Every structure is written in C-alpha cells, then in structure tokens.
Structure 1
Amino acid sequence: MPLLSDLKVVEWSTWIAGPGCAAVMADWGADVIKVESAAGDATRTFWPDTAECPGNPIFSCENRGKKGVVLDVGKAEGRAALIAILRDADVFITNVRPGALKRARLDYEALKDELPRLIYANVTGYGLTGEDADTPAFDLTGFWNRSGVAAAINPPDREPIGSRPGFGDHVTALATLSGVLAAVHERARTGRGRQVETALMRVGCYALGWDLSIRLRNGEAMTAQPRASRPGAIAGYFRTKDQRWICVSQRSPADFGQMMRAIGRAELIDQPRCAAPIVDMAVVHEIRGILDAVFEALTLEEACALMRTTDIIFAPLASLDDVVGDPQAHAAGCFVETPDGWGGHFLAPAAPARFPGTATGPAGPAPKLGQHTRQVLIAAGYAPAAVDALIASGVAAGL
C-alpha cells in the first residue's frame, strides 16, 4: 500500500514550492487535488502540452499524479466549493500571499474552527508576520538573495550569479513537507490539525546554517573567497586537460599525505612547512600549483581514476548531460518514469527519498486544466446538475 494513501491533500498554489511539496506527497501515495484559477498555474505556459509535444516537463515535475480542479474562489460559490472539498481533507497547502488569503476569508484563522482537523500549510516568501509578510517573492529573491545565501556563495571579486530556477523552492518544498508530516503525526495523538508555515527566507537561512551560526555566535561573516585567498592546499576545483573540472574536498589532515603519495610527491609529507594546518599562503600556493600541473596533464576520466586510488572525497563537476548518462544516478534512483498524459512516458527527476520494498512514483500524469473538476465536486457532495450550474456560471471549469 502506498505510504500516504490515507491522506487527502488539497493544494491551492502556483509555481514551485507549494506544488512541489504536494507533488512529493502524490508520489508517495496521497490523494492530491490541485485547485487553479481559469488561467491555470503559470508553469503550464513554459512548454506546450500537445499530442505533438506531450508532457510539459516543468509543470509535470511539480504536479504529476494530482487531480486538477478549476474554481474562482473570489466568488462566494467558488469559495464554498473549496470549503466543501476541504471538509474531509487532511492537508491544505497554499502559497497565496497572506493578505489575499485574508481578503478571501481563506486564511487559517477563518478556517480553523470550521475545519478543526485540517493541517493548514502556508508557504511564504518572508513569513506571516512583519512588514514584508505580504511582499511578493521568488526563491531567487527570498531564498537566494535576502537570506544571505548568494552573498556567501559568490566571491566578492565578481558580479554575483543567481540561482537556477526552482533551486530554493525545492528546498522549501521539502521543509514544508517535513512540517506537514510532523503535524500529521501530532494530529494522530491530539485529533486536531494545526497551522504549518515555511518561508523562503527562513529556509535559506537554515540552508546557510554553518555560516550563519558563526555570524550569530562569533560575529564573523564568512563568504566564499577568490581562489588565491582560500586556505586548504589540496581542496577546491582543478581544471583537467580536457577543460573539465574536478572538485576535491579535504576532511582530515591525513588527506594531505594521501594526495601527495597519489601524485608521487611523498617527500613533501614530512616537511615542517607542510605540517597541518598549512597557514603560510605561499606554501598553499606552492602545493596548489603542483596539483594544478598534475590535473592539467590528465583528462577528467583519468583524474577521477587517480582520486579513486585514495579515500579523499572528490567529484567531477558534472554537466546535466553527464548526470543523465551517469549509471550511478540511475542506480541511486535520481530519475523516474512519468506518464505524459498522452499515452507515453518520459524520465523526470524523482522525489528525493525512496523506501526500499515499497513502490513510489507518479500515480499518473499532471492534470489537464480542470480535468477532474466534475469528479472532485461530485465527491465533495455536489449533484451533477449543481456542478453543471457552477461551470455554466464561470465559477468552475472542467473538461
């Protein structure tokens, strides 16, 4: 039996963080209903979803396996329909901004007494309180920039680079999922639901926890440094003969000896100037220069083979093409076959955890806009004629 098959989840959100949380729950067996406006989630527009080009990869990644409902919750009848769908739901996930939720009387305070068992999850940019609680945010702004992540990652000697789309959103989706499942566990004991809230900014601060911990405790703001300024003689990125990169990470002083033996420079191990930790930057530059020359004479494949003779932590700087073709990525379960809604399948990123012995994965394709409106409203107690009337009035839409 699927892990979350006893949970009904209603998601009223767009873009990535809210939908992504609900998508993982759908992969794990929850009955997930996605509520959209007649315009649809903005991610529907990124790629066509037609018989000639089936399966929008962006929308599918965040919405596979869900049922799709279209409601105009700004109208009284649409709000009432959403409440009807929520009456037997376990979880409600929304990233609608706090002010809009309050105006629609769909915020937690408006629903908690009517739906006391409901777990209500707010996915926000900057939280539910404070002067910027209603400020719009993407992960690029709330997670990447305002949390301090970008300033810590980008060396100060160059123009900052932004995050890739959805990067912080997916971290926030997992944070939301953990909070929701904690609330589900609590409800099993208390019988009552609760509010769960995540913020892109707060999740970014948690992701930057080491640097932020040092700043909070010691007042020191750590940031990435230009290569010439970084300590750690054997750590960092090294370019190979075929213009690729390999990343080496040092975990203990013993790694220096391993590396020197691997490259045939064991005579350096016992020299006092190379004793750990190497604090003389001239020595750091000397050792790094030796390693630069070694790796520049090797292809990436040869460099990886050299590193595998040691127990030093390393990895190639893999392109997306490398990852898709990497047998270990497939063995680790990084990809999953996803229905495209047109009778075919395609590979997509898998949910980030799996459960050996239990099948998880997409229960179906991402829904067409309004595909399940009739089915869901009838299950919520509406007569077929009443559903027809809602669709005719524009309050709902369905295929």
Structure 2
Amino acid sequence: MGPLTGVRVVELGQLIAGPYCGQILADFGAEVIKVEPPGKGDAMRQWGRPDADGDPVWWSVIARGKRSITLDLRTEEGQAVLKDLVGEADVLIENFRPGTMERWDLGFDTLSEVNPRLIMARVSGYGQDGPYSDRAGFASVCEAAGGLRYLSGYPDRPPVRVGLSLGDSMAGFNAAMGVLLALQHRHATGKGQVVDSAIYEAVLGLTEALVAEYDSGGHIRERFGSALPGIAPSNAYPTADGKEVIIGANQDTVFARLCEVMGAPELATDERYADHQARGRNQEELDARVGEWTRTVPAQEIVDRLAEAGVPVGLAYTAADMIDDPHFEARQSIVRVPDPKRGTLAMQNVFPRLSESPGEIRALGPELGQDTDDVLSSVLHYDADRISALRDRGVI
C-alpha cells in the first residue's frame, strides 16, 4: 500500500515530461489511467534503444504500474468519455501545447465544473501563459532557455547537452511535487487547482545563484568543462590504467586527507591551497598536481584508498557498472521486474525511499488499450453495448 493508494490519476501526457510525472505517482501507489490515441498510442512506445529482438524498452519503464485505455480526444464522443473519467478522478496530467485542451473543450474551467476537486497538472515547454506559451517546447530548447545549455561543455567549444532529457524529467518531477502539494491544499480546502510546470523553469530552478550573481555583480557564469569554477580539487582525473576517477576534495579538512593519501601533506598548509578561496584562485595548477599523482595509480586503488580516508571518490559508472556494483545490489537500487517477453527487465527502483509506506514497481508498461474495457465498465459503469458501440465508431 503506497502513500498514494486510492488516488486516481488520468494521464493524457505524451513523450517524457507528462508521463514521467505519471510514473512517479504510479510508483507510490496511485491508480494511473493512461489515455492513448487508438491504433498508435503514445510515441514513447517507439522511443529508446531496442532489446535483442528489436523492441524498445523505454516504454516498459516510463509506463510502469499504469493502466492503458484508448480514446480519441479529437471526437466529441471521446471528449465526453474523458469528462466522465474526470468525474471519477483526483488528478489529470496533460502535456499538450497550451491551448490544445481548451480547443477540445477540456480546459480546466470546463473540467473543474465536472469535478471541483480536480487537480490538473499541466506540463509544457514555456508554461500556460506569457508570450512564449504557444511555442513548441522540447527539452533541448527549453534547457537552453533555462540556462543549462550555455553552462554545459568546454569554453572553446559549442554548448553540449547531457545525454538525458533532463529538462523533461525535471518538469515531470516538478509536476508530481505540485500534485502532492495540491492534494494537501485540497485536503484542507476541498478545492482543486492547476499545477503549471514549465520545462524551462524546471531547469532554471536548478541554476543555483546564476541569476543573483549577474544581478549583484554582473557576473555571467561560463562553461568550464568537467569542473566548476573556483571549486577545487573537484574534477575527473586520469589514472594509471587509462580510466578516469572523480574526486571531490574541495573542503579544507577533506583536502587535507587527500594530501595525506597523495603523500604530500604539506600541500594542505601551502598558502596557495590552504583554504577554499586560495584553491579556487589556483584551480588549474592544483588540478594538475592531483592529476600528476592519479596517473601513477590504478583507478580502483585510488577509489579504495581515498574512500578509506574519507575523501569523496568514484568512477563514472555505466549501466553495466551499476548492475554489478555490490552497493546498488544491497540497497536494491536496481531491480528486476517480471517481463513476459524477456523473463525479467532491470530498471531503477522507486526513489525516494519511505520507511513506512514505500513505493513499488507493480508492473511494466501495459499493452496499448489493454485496460480499456475494464476501466470503462468498472470505473464508469458503461455496459457492454455502449463499449462495443464506442469501439465500432473508432472512439476507443
């Protein structure tokens, strides 16, 4: 029994941002009814790297624990069915371009008349209002607008992107957090509301003091490669066996411990490195000194010695490293979920961990429309003839 057991969510989202919000809610026990277009479903069914048989697996993760129904929202009959669903729901998630739901007569004003307690989570590139609200907003361009892309990479090269749709996932995460806050507000007042989660703002919220630094001192933070400006030593360093090890020893006491392991304790009191500001001023030189040591020692030995000394250290893990790591195994950070096609499928577990009401992965992403009849009959109490008629007319 997850903490959201008893909460019914209707998910109209597509691709990543909206569905990731639904994934989080489903992980913690909500009944998430995924509404997909008849015949083709969510495009996420086709995204991502395939398995050995050529079938994509991303859908199995992002739709885990959900139920799938098909419904053509471009038809009046489909819109009427959705309104019936909203009447039985607590939350609706959508991430169409702003204005789409209103054109279908499914905006919040309409749906809140059907269900005044409805919480409507709306995920978009630039938000529900403002001069950019009607722009198409994929994570790539919205990450740039939020400041992340300008900071990513090296100063002598164009900006790069993280190898994930980070903006989409953060907007989905913010939407899920907003739903939880809105549920608490509804608990106190009985009233629903709109949760407006914009991708560019989800990224902007991660940018620390970037805006304040410019406003107060005219400083524009620039790309700095694999480190952060003024934070040293904290970087990726070469090793004797051709790997790279990540070391974060930018706190005074931690830096002193690193120096001891390096066999150079005098560096901790050297005026060039004795405190945070000094290390920042001499960052390039200090990184070079640390690198001179690391390239003489195998990566795993560095990890073992520094970890024992209390210095943050690690390797840049791939998925293969994660699956093989004993800490991941002990905490079940990655779990194997029963899969009728593959036996099991490994994926990340549910986070964060709750001691009394933890979430769980109940099932992989469903087949297209596998729950349509059950949802329409058990939730909306449609009879078999009505369901059959909707199917004959292509509504479901």
Q: Which moved more, 1:323-332 or 1:366-375?
A: 323-332
Structure 1 match to 2:182: 183
Q: 2:200, 2:228 → 1: CA distance?
A: 29
Structure 1 residues 81-122: Cα deviation after superposition (integer angstroms, max 9, x where no partner): 111111110000000111211111111122222210111110
Q: 1:241, 1:257 → 2: CA distance?
A: 23
Structure 1 residues 276-320: Cα deviation after superposition (integer angstroms, max 9, x where no partner): 246488965444333212100111101112212322322222222
What is the TM-score with the length of structure 2 in the denominator?
A: 0.91
Distance 1:318 1:332, change over 3 A: same
Distance 1:206 1:103, change over 3 A: same
How far off its partner does 1:365 sit?
A: 2.5
Structure 2 match to 1:76: 76
Q: 2:225, 2:348 → 1: CA distance?
A: 33
How far off its partner does 1:273 sit?
A: 4.0
Structure 1 match to 2:206: 207
Matches within 5 A, 1:225-244: 225=224, 230-244=229-243
Structure 1 match to 2:45: 44
Structure 2 match to 1:387: 387
Structure 1 match to 2:86: 86
2:237 is paired with a residue whose SS is strand
Matches within 5 A, 1:73-222: 73-142=73-142, 144-222=143-221
Structure 1 residues 146-182: Cα deviation after superposition (integer angstroms, max 9, x where no partner): 2110112223211322232332222222111110011
Does structure 2 retain, via aligned residues, the 8 Å contact 1:35–1:69? yes
Distance 1:23 1:288, change over 3 A: closer
Q: 2:167, 2:326 → 1: CA distance?
A: 27
How far off its partner does 1:204 sit?
A: 0.3
Q: 1:280, 1:48 → 2: CA distance?
A: 43
Q: Which moved more, 1:63-72 or 1:148-157?
A: 148-157
2:309 is paired with a residue whose SS is coil
Matches within 5 A, 1:312-391: 312-342=311-341, 344-379=343-378, 380-391=380-391
State the one-letter code of the partner of 1:119.
I
Does structure 2 retain, via aligned residues, the 8 Å contact 1:99–1:134? yes
2:114 is paired with a residue whose SS is coil
How far off its partner does 1:24 sit?
A: 1.6
Q: Which moved more, 1:125-134 or 1:149-158?
A: 149-158
Does structure 2 retain, via aligned residues, the 8 Å contact 1:244–1:317? no
2:74 is paired with a residue whose SS is coil
Q: 2:183, 2:231 → 1: CA distance?
A: 45
Distance 1:285 1:32, change over 3 A: closer
Q: CA RMSD in A?
A: 2.6
Structure 1 residues 321-347: Cα deviation after superposition (integer angstroms, max 9, x where no partner): 212211222334422332335483211
Q: 1:285, 1:133 → 2: CA distance?
A: 43
2:313 is paired with a residue whose SS is strand
How far off its partner does 1:270 sit?
A: 3.4
Structure 2 match to 1:20: 20
Does structure 2 retain, via aligned residues, the 8 Å contact 1:140–1:163? no
Does structure 1 retain, via aligned residues, the 8 Å contact 2:233–2:279? no
1:189 is paired with a residue whose SS is helix
How far off its partner does 1:357 sit?
A: 4.6
2:205 is paired with a residue whose SS is helix
How far off its partner does 1:213 sit?
A: 3.5
Structure 1, gaps ≥5 residues long: none
How many residue pairs get matched?
394
Does structure 2 retain, via aligned residues, the 8 Å contact 1:77–1:395? yes
